């Protein structure tokens, strides 16, 4: 089992082990009794037959009632655990979770956002407001024992509270296309002071040059899943040495790769689609702040 890092992880695990234990016990019991009866009541000689018993009411009622009770226990236990995850504590911090082909975007209450990296303070009640911008995805944090579909045009909710500091996996568990398996992220549960520090740096990059900040954003905003910086083609074109060159678009026109073109490529990727590529780049409108766009442009310019 992954570590238990949220308030309801222990409850979900207990239910899981209850179901497993009951299944194992019943399986063993039924198998042992079946094999024993096969042996005990085999035909022993030509003239001997087993007694003509057709049924036994007491036995049948017993083995109907006991499993029925078990099924009800599992149902109510599971239903209560599910409802627990839908209950939002009054002082919960709301984080918007958006699935896109193929990354997770997180919006924090004070306007900061991050991609594929979710940072939350330990012990703070959270409300994940989950949706999708394109197809069905499913937001899953195994260590929190929390999973919920991300459905386009609709919100779903998880209420949870991280109880352990550390870095844990985020997966998409709904097959959503070519790079579904790369739609992975990390949740970092940190102390409140560290969280506040992170919020500040996420906004401005801290004390690094624009190109260095851009290099960080290249990874943290998931550009790296589709763009290489070493000249090799991926889902998207490489960034190596593109600044100042002429690029042919799918509609035949030629465009000079300058600051304005780079900016537009991030905010309206479908306005100019590079020849030979599919128009699959998601828009970063609302995700990248001006300062971050500037940093990414500086980084692309630095890749000679």
Q: How far is the CB of 295 from ligand HEC (least distance, A)?
A: 10
176 binds, among Cu ion, ligand HEC, none (CB under 5 to 8 A by kind): Cu ion
**Quick one: 12 or 172, whose CB is closer to Cu ion?**
172
* Long-range pairs, 232-238, Cβ under 8 A, ≥24: 235/178, 235/179, 235/277, 235/278, 235/280, 236/274, 236/277, 236/280, 236/281, 237/274, 237/277
Question: Which residues have a Cβ under 8 Å from the Cβ of 206 and sit 6 or more positions away?
Answer: 200, 213
Q: How far is the CB of 97 from Cu ion (least distance, A)?
A: 12
5 binds, among Cu ion, ligand HEC, none (CB under 5 to 8 A by kind): none
229 binds, among ligand HEC, Cu ion, none (CB under 5 to 8 A by kind): none
Between strands 93-100 and 126-132, the pairing is parallel
Q: How far is the CB of 130 from ligand HEC (least distance, A)?
A: 20
- Give the residues lining the site for Cu ion (CB under 5 A): 137, 172, 176, 183
Q: How far is CA 255 from the centre of its chain?
A: 37
Q: How far is the CB of 236 from ligand HEC (least distance, A)?
A: 3
Find out whether 22 and 187 touch, Cβ atoms under 8 Å: no
- Give the residues lining the site for ligand HEC (CB under 6 A): 102, 221-223, 225-227, 235-237, 242, 247, 257, 262, 265-266, 269, 272-274, 277-281, 284, 296
Q: CB burial class (10 A; 0-12, 13-18, 19+) of residue 240?
A: middle
Q: How far is the CB of 257 from ligand HEC (least distance, A)?
A: 6
Distance, CA of 104 to CA of 118 (rounded, Å):
9
137 binds, among ligand HEC, Cu ion, none (CB under 5 to 8 A by kind): Cu ion
SS3 52: coil
9 binds, among Cu ion, ligand HEC, none (CB under 5 to 8 A by kind): none
Task: Specify the residue for token string 């937001």.
Answer: 139
172 binds, among ligand HEC, Cu ion, none (CB under 5 to 8 A by kind): Cu ion
Find out whether 267 and 283 touch, Cβ atoms under 8 Å: yes
**Quick one: 140 or 198, whose CB is closer to Cu ion?**
140
Q: How far is the CB of 203 from ligand HEC (least distance, A)?
A: 16
């Amino acid at each position: 089992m992954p570590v238990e890092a949220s308030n309801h992880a222990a409850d979900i695990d207990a239910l899981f082990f209850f179901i497993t234990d009951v299944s194992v016990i019943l399986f063993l019991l039924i198998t042992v009794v079946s094999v024993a009866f096969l042996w005990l009541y085999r035909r022993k000689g030509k003239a001997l037959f087993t007694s003509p018993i057709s049924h036994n009411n007491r036995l049948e009622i017993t083995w109907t009632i006991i499993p029925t009770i078990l099924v009800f226990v599992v149902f109510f236990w599971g239903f209560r655990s599910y409802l627990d995850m839908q209950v939002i504590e009054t002082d919960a911090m709301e984080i918007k979770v958006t699935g896109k082909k193929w990354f997770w975007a997180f919006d924090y209450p004070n306007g900061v956002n991050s991609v594929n990296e979710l940072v939350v303070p330990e012990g703070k009640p959270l409300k994940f407001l989950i949706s999708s911008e394109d197809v069905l995805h499913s937001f899953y944090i195994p260590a929190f024992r929390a999973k919920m579909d991300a459905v386009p045009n609709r919100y779903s909710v998880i209420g949870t509270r991280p109880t352990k500091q550390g870095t844990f996996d985020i997966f998409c568990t709904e097959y959503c296309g070519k790079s579904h398996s790369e739609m992975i992220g990390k949740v970092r549960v940190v102390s409140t002071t560290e969280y506040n520090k992170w919020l500040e740096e996420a906004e401005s990059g801290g004390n690094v040059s624009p190109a260095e900040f851009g290099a960080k954003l290249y990874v943290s905003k998931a550009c790296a899943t589709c763009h290489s910086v070493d000249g090799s083609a991926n889902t998207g074109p490489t960034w190596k040495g593109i600044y100042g060159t002429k690029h042919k678009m799918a509609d035949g026109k030629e465009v000079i790769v300058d600051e304005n073109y780079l900016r537009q490529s991030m905010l309206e990727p479908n306005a100019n689609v590079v020849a030979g590529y599919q128009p699959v780049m998601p828009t970063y409108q609302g995700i990248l702040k001006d300062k971050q766009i500037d940093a990414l442009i500086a980084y692309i310019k630095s890749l000679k």
